[in-house]
């Protein structure tokens, strides 16, 4: 298996998009899958590398990347050495990053013998479930859409990470990262950016516009984002397929760091469902 880590793709916002590709070198073009991590996530979190290998073994050209303002850097793509960048992230930057990765895959001649550049599916976990749903509704290059443990609404989250007045006055508010114990800043620009782009950032509207095959997966033991959110997305796109994973939490029962050689049985089930769906 060919694994190329930490390729730097130029984004639209002065920071590189750090990207990995996984594939079996067969000199036969393969369907492309692009994976997007969620809030306080990164491409090497937990068992995402095992997921990437499973897709590559199944015959896909698998791409995963760090959003350019996720708090990682080109030198240190794991965890959050750049909290200033994290605080300046927002939904439209993430949409722009995904578009840059789509552009890169679609035009990259280095992989033309390995990647079907006109057959691209996108997967988003958690917050990125909303990002990929919006992108699938607006970008004709997306052939299939998969949302994992997805949020169904950005609006309620954009203004409830604390009191709006205080946030505006101070210009920043903090959320503690339970694992690293860092105080993660959220600059007020996040809320301003959401309000300025509220129409575009409407997941319900986007889900209703999606015309490509759409798979929605959620764990019934998710305490971070309720399974009801995925049920709502499914109701907005009745042609979508909804799969509920029993006893699975928000990250399908893996954690970071993940030292085991195998995924949890719940994440393995998710991966198998995705691979079968993308066929």
DSSP conformation letters of 254-276: --SS--SSS--HHHHHHHHHHHH
For range 236-265, the mean pLDDT: 98
Q: What's the order of all strands across the beta sheet hosting 115-125?
A: 2-9, 17-23, 61-65, 30-36, 115-125, 142-148, 214-219, 241-245
R_g of the chain computed on alpha carbons: 18
3-state SS record for 160-191:
CCCCHHHHHHHCEEEEECCCCCCEEEEECHHH
Report in angstroms the alpha-carbon separations of 120 from 30, 43, 70, 92, 143: 10, 18, 23, 21, 6
User: Of the ranges 3-7, 78-82, 163-167, which one carries the lowest mean pLDDT score?
Assistant: 163-167
Considering the chain, what is the average pLDDT of its residues? 96
Residue 161 confidence (pLDDT) above 60: no
pTM of the model: 0.97
Task: Report the share of the chain in percent with pLDDT over 70.
Answer: 98
pLDDT of residue 28: 96
- Distance CA(213)–CA(31), nearest Å, equals 15
Residue 162 scores a pLDDT above 70 = no
Using DSSP bridges, classify how beta strands 17-23 and 61-65 pair: parallel, antiparallel or unpaired.
antiparallel
Do you know the residue count of the chain?
279
Q: How confident is the model at residue 156 (pLDDT cuts 50, 70, 90)?
A: confident
Answer yes or no: is pLDDT of 158 > 70.
Answer: no
Q: Phi/psi at 14 (nearest 5 deg)? A: 65, 5
As a whole number, mean pLDDT of residues 233-238 equals 98
| pLDDT the model gives residue 155 | 87
Using the Cα atoms of residue 114, residue 118, residue 119 and residue 121 in order, give the sign of their dihedral: positive
Give the 3-state secondary structure of residue 193: helix
What is the pLDDT, as a whole number, of residue 160?
Answer: 58
Helix axes 91-107, 189-196, angle to 10 degrees: 70
**CATH numbers and ranges of domains, the chain:** 2-153+201-278 (3.40.50.1820)
Do 175 and 161 form a contact (C-beta atoms < 8 A)? yes
Asked if the peptide bond before residue 257 counts as cis, ω within 30 degrees of 0, the response is: yes
Residue 159: pLDDT band with limits 50, 70, 90: low
CA atoms within 13 A on the CB side of 258: 18
């Amino acid at each position: 298996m060919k694994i190329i880590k930490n390729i730097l793709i130029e984004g639209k916002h002065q920071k590189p998009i750090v990207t990995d590709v996984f594939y079996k070198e067969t000199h036969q073009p393969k369907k492309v899958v692009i994976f997007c991590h969620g809030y306080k996530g990164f491409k090497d979190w937990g068992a995402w590398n095992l997921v990437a290998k499973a897709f590559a073994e199944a015959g896909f050209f698998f791409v995963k990347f760090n959003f350019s303002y996720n708090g990682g850097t080109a030198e240190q793509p794991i965890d959050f050495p750049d909290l200033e960048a994290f605080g300046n992230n927002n939904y439209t930057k993430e949409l722009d990053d995904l578009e840059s990765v789509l552009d890169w895959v679609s035009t990259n001649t280095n992989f033309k013998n390995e990647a079907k550049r006109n057959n691209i599916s996108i997967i988003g976990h958690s917050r990125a479930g909303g990002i990929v749903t919006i992108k699938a509704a607006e970008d004709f290059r997306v052939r299939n859409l998969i949302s994992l443990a997805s949020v169904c609404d950005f609006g309620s989250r954009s203004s409830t990470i604390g009191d709006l007045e205080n946030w505006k006055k101070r210009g920043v508010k903090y959320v503690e990262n339970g694992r690293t114990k860092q105080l993660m800043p959220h600059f007020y620009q996040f809320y301003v950016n959401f309000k300025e782009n509220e129409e575009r950032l409407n997941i319900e509207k986007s889900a209703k516009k999606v015309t490509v095959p759409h798979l929605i997966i959620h764990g019934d033991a998710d305490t971070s984002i309720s399974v009801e959110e995925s049920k709502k997305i499914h109701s907005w796109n009745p042609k979508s397929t909804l799969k509920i994973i029993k006893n699975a939490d928000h990250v399908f029962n893996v954690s970071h760091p993940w030292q085991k050689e195998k995924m949890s049985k719940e994440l393995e089930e998710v991966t198998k469902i995705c691979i079968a769906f993308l066929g």
